[in-house]
Amino acid sequence: MNNMEGKEILKVDNLSKSFGGIKAVSDLSFSVEGHHIHAVIGPNGAGKSTLFNLITGVISSDKGRIKFLGEDITSLRPDKISEKGISRTFQNIRLFPDMTVFETVLIGTYLLTGGKILPALFLSKEFRRKEHLAKEKVEDILNFAGLWDVRNEYAAKLSYGNQRRVEMARALAMDPQLLLLDEPTAGMNPKETKELMDLFSLVNSQGITILIIAHDMHLVNTLSNQVTVINFGKKLVEGPPAEIQRHPEVLEAYMGRAEANA
């Protein structure tokens, strides 16, 4: 377990991103405390997924700064950001149809094996050693995530809930200190949602900080330590769940819609 508890692990400072004339993220600032589960909520189109894409380097910002563990990562490539200790899942499941669960999660260990082409081609002793460690790591993660029994099945053919678990296991294989989850329970039935929420808590108990986009207010209220509400790309309000759910602007901009769609 890392020693980031009670310390700032991520800082977003005056971040902005426009697409044409649309401001997807506008002068957004907030911070995430280590070992916390921090939720980002807001109506559809509020800029939540754009925020995640900015943090992970998928797109570049127009202005503003992102710091992770005190280091400016604003202009880094996605692979370099992953190496620093940030991994993520996506709103739309991204699994290879011809890969088993084991193979899919093994992809996430490329940092452990070094990702070097020549040692792999010649099966050097060092590469074989790292490959063995990577496979042991995957075994541990699959057991941890409750996926060991389906390790040899094609990941894309699993139930929706298990596909989400595979995505999360692949992200965990990258040894993150900060895990970004984009609508991880969207489309799930109550049983699947409960099981995945239990997994989130288990992951967090291992010292991994979680930043999660969610529309499920039961999940937000049950799991999160802090909530940032955004609307039209701007921060509307921030605070603990109990405080957020009573805030008049939140009720108007988001909570009413969530309750109406529940």
CATH number at residue 129: 3.40.50.300
* Closest of 80, 129, 144, 133 to residue 106, by C-alpha: 133
Strand partners, 227: 39, 239
Tens-digit pLDDT profile for residues 193-250: 999 999 999 999 999 999 999 988 889 999 999 999 998 899 989 999 988 877 777 7
Considering the domain architecture, whether residues 72 and 187 belong to the same structural domain is answered as: yes
Count of domains forming the chain = 2
Computed on alpha carbons and rounded to an integer, the radius of gyration of the chain in Å comes to 19
CA 92 to chain centre: 13
**How many other C-beta atoms are found inside a 10 Å radius of the C-beta of residue 260?**
7
pLDDT, tens only, 137-193 = 999 999 999 999 999 999 999 999 999 999 999 999 999 999 999 999 988 899 999
Do 26 and 136 reside in the same domain of the chain? Answer: no
Domain that holds residue 211: 1-85+177-262
**Residues 198, 199, 200, 202, Cα dihedral to 10°:** 90
Query: Using an 8 Å Cβ cutoff, are 231 and 46 in contact?
Result: yes
Last residue of a domain, one of 160, 175, 190: 175
Q: Is residue 25 pLDDT above 50, yes or no?
A: yes
Q: What is the pTM of this model?
A: 0.88
Q: Assess whether 98 and 51 both reside in one domain.
A: no
